[in-house]
Structures are given as C-alpha cells and as structure tokens.
Amino acid sequence: MANHDIESTRTQARALLDSRIESVTTLVTARQRVADLHEQLTEAERDAKRAYVRATKDGWSADELKKLGLEPAAAGRRRKAASRTTADNTATPPRGDPLDAAGGQG
C-alpha cells in the first residue's frame, strides 16, 4: 500500500479548489457587471423618456423630433421587450443544462 502525505494531498486539493473558486468568482463578477449595466440602461431610458416629454412641452412636435431622428422612447422599448422575451427563452435552458450535467445525480 502506498504512503500518502496528508499535507501534500491537502495542498493539491486546495489548488484544485482555488482554480474552481476563481472561475466562479469571474462568473459572479461578470453577472454583477451585467446587472449594473442593465440598471444603468434602465435609468438612461427613463431619463431619455423624461427628456422627450420635456422637449414636447417646450414646443417641439413629435413630427419635428422624428425628422431630427428623435423617436419617442416607447418605440424603442417595444422592440426591446420582444428581444428580451427571445433572450429569456434562449437563456433559460443553458442555465439548467450545465447544472444537470454537472450534478449528474438527482
């Protein structure tokens, strides 16, 4: 029977765990960045909508703003909602599959 050095085995196990922890840390960091950017986008869209309303209250007509390439924010939001639905539908299965494959039991 071979002799096993407990400290050497622990060191090797820690190295394996550290690399796994690094990948999860990177994943959490990336997901948090996405959440932060989504929040910034939501705030920016809200500001754009308010600015559009303010412009119309200052006398700009919807047609004039359209000629300047400044569509109402609602038009962009409708397209985004459709994209979000598609993204949600395609994003859900991959999230579940890796866990099922990694878990293997269950």
Residue carrying structure tokens 């006398």: 59
- For the stretch 20-75, pLDDT in tens is 999 999 999 999 999 999 999 999 999 999 999 999 999 999 999 999 999 987 54
State the total domains in the chain: 1
Task: Say if 99 falls within a structural domain.
Answer: no
Task: Say if 93 falls within a structural domain.
Answer: no
Do the Cβ atoms of 54 and 46 come closer than 8 Å?
no
Range of the domain at 70: 15-85
C-alpha span between 100 and 58 (Å, rounded): 57
Task: Say if 106 falls within a structural domain.
Answer: no
Task: Say if 61 falls within a structural domain.
Answer: yes
Task: Say if 96 falls within a structural domain.
Answer: no
Residue 45: helix, strand or coil by DSSP? helix
Task: Say if 9 falls within a structural domain.
Answer: no
Which one-letter DSSP state was computed for residue 68? T
Task: Say if 73 falls within a structural domain.
Answer: yes
Q: What global pTM score does this model have? A: 0.54
Q: Per-residue confidence at 104, pLDDT binned at 50, 70, 90? A: very low
Task: Say if 90 falls within a structural domain.
Answer: no
Closest C-alpha among 69, 73, 85 to residue 41? 73
